[in-house]
């Protein structure tokens, strides 16, 4: 799995980029809200200052007996309204908020009356002044009201200024902030993507090195960097050192044990055969010697397989490649197995040549056919066809097939599908592993496909070769 790939989800790089961009988005939103709040307060503060100055001028005119609605020098759109009550100021302060809406008479400079809510009236009654926002003809106005008194009569003096300019400025501010935020996010995404790429670069080196490591290449090591990634690489390399030592010890044991067992196993089988041929035996003795000989031969095959694996692990599995007619080789294998296998053997296909080691490919085909026979196949067909610069050999059987859960491990060493290849039939679970190793050593490939209840097909791809000039076939 690549560093930048996560199964069933986002890549690590995308995740880090989104986290960074999300954090920046929240920061930009918080910044925009803060700026807009500050600008709103500043603009409303400026409006409040203007309203306060106008209210002082209007109140002074009213207390001096002049018409406050006729004030000169008012800003365009300013509305002045004086609600006069028949009671003194002290009595008005004890009123309910709703009583302020029923003045004795009214002086106004606007086309429409200013109507206030209960909260505005309550603040006015308790504090003597109040700010609020009302709409006149659909236009928002900011209003300042104060309580005044003249000739024993209380009055509510209200002045209002339109907020059209404030709203326009705030809308422009929001547009600018949105544009800045959008460009900021785009830049942030780009920067975050580049930065996370640089941060993850050491991890990609670790990943690339790890992908090159295999059982055949345990000497590869991860480059160590500084920081946490370097510590990770160091721990990974230390683990590889331990794994390499264990694998090398296992290989030495397999090789040494195989060589040590080969001679005594051969000796046991030989002596058992000698006794069977040269001595007079009771039936029970003969049966025992036959069992000894059979098991010794089975153990001998296992030792031979282990030696092949030891050569493969040591890199000494050699092939002496030469042009070989594969159909002829397949027919030779089938001829040698007639009367041995229970399955009927058929060879067909093209007369093509491949560059292979004849003896080792004979071993591969023999192994595949015997596997199919042990799996209970009634018929096994070997088909040889040309495939461009390669030759394809398909070994197909009509046996029980292999369950899908076994297919990923079918080429593993010592792995056996017990329901079709019983231990009592002499298999070691190494045949397919060895066959694949031989094919790989030829520069070829081996694949297996199977359908439960319909049979199995093993396909072998090998490098093609031209027929030699002295071809007599």
pLDDT tens per residue across span 356-372? 999 889 989 998 999 89
Residue 223 is given by DSSP the state: P
CATH code, 227-314: 1.10.287.130
233/47: higher pLDDT: 47
pLDDT of residue 316: 64
Is 182 a residue whose pLDDT tops 80? yes
- Which residues are paired to 214 by β-bridges? 217
Contact yes or no for 108/69 (Cβ under 8 A): yes
Residues in the chain: 473
Q: Are strands 455-465 and 353-356 parallel, antiparallel or unpaired?
A: antiparallel
Domain boundaries, the chain: 66-161, 227-314, 322-465
The total of other beta-carbon atoms located within 10 Å of residue 309's CB is 20
Is 331 a residue whose pLDDT tops 90? yes
Stretch 310-319: mean pLDDT: 70
Alpha-carbon torsion angle 328, 333, 339, 342, nearest 10: -110
Stretch 7-31: mean pLDDT: 79
pLDDT tens digits for range 245-259 = 877 777 677 667 766
3-class SS of residue 387: strand
Above pLDDT 70, what percent of the chain? 85
The count of C-alpha atoms lying within 13 angstroms of the C-alpha of 412, restricted to the half-sphere facing its C-beta, is 9
pLDDT of residue 457: 94
Does pTM surpass 0.75? no
* Class of domain 66-161 as given by CATH: alpha beta
Stretch 295-304: mean pLDDT: 76
pLDDT tens digits for range 373-394 = 888 899 999 999 998 899 999 9
Is 86 a residue whose pLDDT tops 70? yes
Q: Are strands 390-397 and 445-451 parallel, antiparallel or unpaired?
A: unpaired
3-class SS of residue 468: coil
Q: Are strands 353-356 and 139-150 parallel, antiparallel or unpaired?
A: unpaired
Contact yes or no for 343/377 (Cβ under 8 A): yes
pLDDT of residue 420: 45
- Which residues are paired to 324 by β-bridges? 354
Which two structure tokens, joined as six digits, stand for 291?
A: 């069992």
* Class of domain 322-465 as given by CATH: alpha beta
Residue 467 is given by DSSP the state: P
pLDDT tens digits for range 234-247 = 888 888 888 878 77
């Amino acid at each position: 799995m690549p560093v930048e790939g996560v199964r069933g989800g986002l890549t690590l790089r995308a995740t880090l980029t989104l986290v960074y961009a999300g954090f920046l988005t929240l920061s930009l939103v918080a910044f925009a809200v803060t700026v807009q709040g500050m600008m709103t307060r500043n603009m409303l503060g400026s409006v409040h200052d203007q309203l306060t100055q106008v209210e002082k001028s209007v109140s002074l005119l009213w207390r001096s007996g002049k018409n406050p609605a006729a004030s000169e020098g008012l800003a365009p759109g300013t509305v002045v309204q004086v609600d006069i009550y028949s009671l003194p100021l002290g009595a008005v302060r004890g009123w309910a908020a709703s009583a302020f809406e029923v003045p004795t008479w009214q002086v106004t400079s606007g086309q429409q009356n200013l109507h206030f809510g209960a909260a505005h009236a309550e603040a006015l009654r308790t504090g003597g002044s109040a700010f609020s926002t009302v709409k006149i003809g659909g236009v928002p106005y900011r209003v300042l009201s104060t309580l005044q008194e003249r000739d024993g009569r209380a009055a509510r003096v209200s002045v209002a200024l339109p907020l059209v300019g404030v709203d326009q400025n705030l809308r422009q501010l929001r547009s600018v902030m949105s544009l800045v935020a959008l460009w900021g996010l785009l830049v942030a995404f780009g920067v975050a993507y580049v930065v996370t790429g640089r941060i993850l670069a050491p991890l990609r080196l670790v990943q690339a090195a790890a992908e090159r490591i295999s059982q055949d290449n345990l000497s590869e090591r991860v480059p160590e960097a500084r920081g946490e990634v370097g510590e990770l690489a160091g721990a990974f390399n230390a683990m590889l050192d331990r794994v390499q030592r264990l694998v090398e010890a296992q290989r030495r044991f397999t090789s040494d044990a195989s060589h040590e067992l080969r001679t005594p196993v051969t000796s046991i089988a030989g002596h058992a055969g000698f006794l069977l041929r040269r001595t007079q035996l009771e039936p029970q003795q003969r049966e025992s010697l036959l069992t000894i000989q059979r098991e010794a031969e089975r153990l001998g095959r296992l030792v031979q397989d282990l030696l092949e694996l030891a050569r493969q692990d040591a890199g000494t599995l050699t092939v002496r490649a030469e042009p070989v007619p594969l159909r002829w080789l397949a027919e030779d294998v089938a001829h040698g197995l007639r009367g041995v296998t229970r399955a009927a053997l058929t060879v067909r296909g093209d007369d093509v040549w491949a560059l292979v080691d004849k003896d080792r490919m004979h071993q591969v085909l023999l192994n595949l056919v015997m596997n199919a026979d042990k799996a209970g196949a009634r018929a096994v067909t070997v088909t040889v066809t040309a495939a461009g610069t390669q030759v394809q050999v398909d070994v197909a059987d009509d046996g029980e097939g292999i369950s899908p859960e076994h297919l990923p491990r079918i080429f593993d060493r010592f792995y056996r599908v017990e329901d079709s290849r019983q231990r009592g039939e002499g298999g070691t679970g190494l045949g397919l592993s060895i066959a694949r190793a031989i094919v790989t050593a030829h520069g070829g490939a081996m694949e297996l496909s199977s359908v439960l209840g319909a049979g199995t097909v093993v396909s072998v791809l090998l490098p093609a070769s031209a027929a030699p000039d002295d071809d007599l076939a």
